[in-house]
Amino acid sequence: MSTSFGKAVGNEGCVEDESTDAKPMKQQPTKKHDEEKGSTKTKDDSRNRCEDLTRKIPRTHKPPINYCFKWISVIACFICIAAFLLSVLILFGKIGYGCGCSENEDRQVPRSSCKELYDKDESDGNKAYPLKLGSVTLPIYCHMTDLEECGGGGWTLVMKMDGSKDAFHYDSAIWSNMDEHNASAGMSGFDEQETKLPTYWKTKFSKICLGMKNGQKINFVLITKTSDSLYSLIADGQYRPTLLGRNNWKSLLDSSASLQRKCNKEGFNTFCTGFRYDKKPPKARIGIVGNDGFDPYCDRCYSRIGFGTAGYPDDTNTCGNVASWRPDNGNNNIKVMGYILVQ
């Protein structure tokens, strides 16, 4: 009976055969003692076997690797590195600014003259470009292709004047001040709009290109002259000679030009002296004056070709050709559009 009870208790909640874990017991002298001891031991052994079987064996589990997160982290690192390199390249000007402009404009930094744009291969045809003149940046017309006798290489517009108007009269303050005149017209080329730009007093050069538009044709001549600005050659009113020659001055108007044969005093702030008190002597801010040869010291001139002109015989002609008193191609009075560019 004791044995049956032990088996019942031993098998309660267990799936293992008790014979598996049974241990040999010492034999006792009395049967009753054996039964009691056997019954007690059987209960203890059964309990231990249940505890052994139900105890969870600890296992060391590694958490599953999230490969998706791993690759996202790697890609994020590459993006950060690429962004850093991109910012370094932009900082040092190796690539453009991503502004959606043309490639040339994207890399472009405002230059001080059209020649500088041309020399740095940043030009894109004859048009207005932003030029940095001191602390100011303005759109100014640049002529990048050849201008006949002047050649190419990047010409910066300085002035456009209408000989039938008085804005650029020889005696006007426009020649001696540093004020703009109709600067918006400085964005266009060889049209009928007058303008005076800051390039008059802020642009250095070694060449001057002069153009006159008679009808629909424009002729140009080149003066080789180095200066800090055109203002420094004109504003003080001092005469400064040039060596262009009377035929070159006449070429500005082709066969229409007329000039007296003598004197031929040319340059900046050129004029004749010794004129009668009731008449103003012909003069030009840039140009040539002539007489008939009776006055060996350029007295009493009656003809001129130039820019910023005034005097007898027509004080209202401020750009063009005026001639009388036996000139080489008859009396003349032609008012034209004049253009001045530097390089």
Of 41-45, 207-211, 258-262, the range with the highest mean pLDDT is: 207-211
Longest dimension (CA), the chain: 174
pTM: 0.69
By percentage, how much of the chain surpasses pLDDT 70?
A: 71
Tokens of 329: 């191609």
Q: Is the pLDDT of residue 238 over 50?
A: yes
Q: Is the pLDDT of residue 276 over 90?
A: no
Tokens of 315: 């004080």
Reduce the DSSP state of residue 254 to 3 states and report it: helix
Which of the four pLDDT bands, split at 50, 70 and 90, describes residue 21? very low
Q: Is the pLDDT of residue 281 over 50?
A: yes
- The beta strand positions in the chain, using DSSP E, are 127-133, 136-143, 155-162, 195-196, 205-214, 217-227, 240-241, 262-271, 283-291, 303-310, 319-323, 332-335, 337-342
Provide mean pLDDT across the span 314-318.
Answer: 97
The pLDDT assigned to 125 comes to: 94
The pLDDT assigned to 232 comes to: 98
The pLDDT assigned to 63 comes to: 56
The pLDDT assigned to 91 comes to: 64
The pLDDT assigned to 97 comes to: 41
The pLDDT assigned to 303 comes to: 94
More confident of the two residues 117 and 11: 117
Which of the four pLDDT bands, split at 50, 70 and 90, describes residue 332? very high
The pLDDT assigned to 277 comes to: 54
Which of the four pLDDT bands, split at 50, 70 and 90, describes residue 275? low
Provide mean pLDDT across the span 250-273.
Answer: 94
SS3 content of the chain, % helix, strand, coil (to 5): 30, 25, 40
Tokens of 56: 């969870």
The pLDDT assigned to 92 comes to: 61
Q: Are 218 and 209 in contact (CB under 8 A)?
A: no
Reduce the DSSP state of residue 146 to 3 states and report it: coil
The pLDDT assigned to 15 comes to: 40
Tokens of 313: 């015989």
Rounded-to-integer distance, Cα 144 and Cα 151, Å: 10
Provide mean pLDDT across the span 19-40.
Answer: 47
Q: Is the pLDDT of residue 101 over 60?
A: no
The pLDDT assigned to 8 comes to: 38
Average pLDDT, the chain: 81
Q: Is the pLDDT of residue 41 over 90?
A: no
The pLDDT assigned to 295 comes to: 62
Q: How far is CA 259 from CA 26, 85, 301, in A?
A: 153, 68, 10
Rounded-to-integer distance, Cα 102 and Cα 23, Å: 96
The pLDDT assigned to 55 comes to: 53
Reported as a single tens digit per residue, the pLDDT across 118-166 is 999 999 999 999 999 999 999 999 999 999 999 999 999 999 999 999 9
More confident of the two residues 41 and 168: 168
Provide mean pLDDT across the span 65-72.
Answer: 66
Q: Are 259 and 250 in contact (CB under 8 A)?
A: yes
Which of the four pLDDT bands, split at 50, 70 and 90, describes residue 317? very high
Long-range contacts at 9-15 (CB < 8 A, ≥ 24 apart): 9/42, 9/43, 9/46, 10/42, 10/43, 10/45, 10/46, 10/49, 11/46, 12/46, 12/50, 13/50, 13/54, 14/46, 14/49, 14/50, 14/53, 15/53
Q: Are 219 and 337 in contact (CB under 8 A)?
A: no
The pLDDT assigned to 86 comes to: 76
More confident of the two residues 44 and 143: 143
The pLDDT assigned to 77 comes to: 76
